[in-house]
Amino acid sequence: MNNDEAKFVLRAYRPGGGDAGDPALAAALEQAKKDPALAAWFEREQAHAAIVATKLRLIAPPAGLRDAILAGARAGTAAGRRRHGWRRPAWLAMAAAMAVLFSVAAWWRLAPVGGASFEEFAVNFVDRGFRLQKHSADISELEAWLAEKRGPLPAALPAELAALRALGCRTLEFRGREVSLVCFERDGKEFHVFVARREVLADTADTAGPRFHGHGKLVAGAWSDARNHYVVVSDADLPTLQRLL
Amino acid sequence: MSNEAFTQLVDAHYGALHRFALSLARNGADAGDLVQQTFFIWATKGGSLRDTAKAKAWLFTTLYREFLRGRRREARATSIEELPPGEQDIAAEEIDRVARLDAGAVMAALQSVDDVFRAPLTLFYLEELSYLEIADALAVPIGTVMSRLSRGKAQLRAALTAEERGAGAKVVAFAAAKGGKS
Nearest chain B residue (CA) to A37: B89
The answer to whether position A237 is within a domain reads yes
Q: Are residues A131 and A44 in the same domain?
A: no
Q: Are residues A215 and A233 in the same domain?
A: yes
Q: How confident is the model at residue A42 (pLDDT cuts 50, 70, 90)?
A: very high
Q: Mean pLDDT for chain A? A: 81
The answer to whether position A13 is within a domain reads yes
Q: Are residues A18 and A52 in the same domain?
A: yes
Does the pLDDT at position B146 exceed 80? yes
pLDDT tens, B7-39?
Answer: 888 999 999 999 999 999 887 778 888 898 888
Q: Which of A107-111, A182-186, A197-201, B101-105 has the lowest mean pLDDT?
A: A107-111
Q: Are residues A101 and A198 in the same domain?
A: no
Q: Which of A19-28, A219-228, B40-49 has the lowest mean pLDDT?
A: B40-49
ipTM value:
0.78
The answer to whether position A182 is within a domain reads yes
Domain hosting A178: range is: 118-244
pLDDT tens, B91-123?
Answer: 888 899 899 888 888 998 999 898 889 999 999
Q: Are residues A86 and A45 in the same domain?
A: no
Q: Are residues A230 and A194 in the same domain?
A: yes
The count of structural domains within chain A is 3
Q: How confident is the model at residue B178 (pLDDT cuts 50, 70, 90)?
A: low
Which domains are seen in chain B, by residue range? 3-74 (1.10.1740), 94-161 (1.10.10.10)
Give CA–CA dist A186/B176, Å, rounded. 19
Q: B interface mutation test: which of A46, A52, A66 has the most B CBs within 10 A? A: A52
Mean pLDDT of B2-9: 83
Does the pLDDT at position A221 exceed 90? yes
B73 inside 8 A of chain A by CB: no
B25 inside 8 A of chain A by CB: no
Res B169: pLDDT:
52
- Which of residues 147 through 186 in chain A touch B, CB cutoff 8 A? 153-160, 162-167, 185-186
The answer to whether position A24 is within a domain reads yes
Chain A with chain B: Cβ pairs closer than 8 A? 201
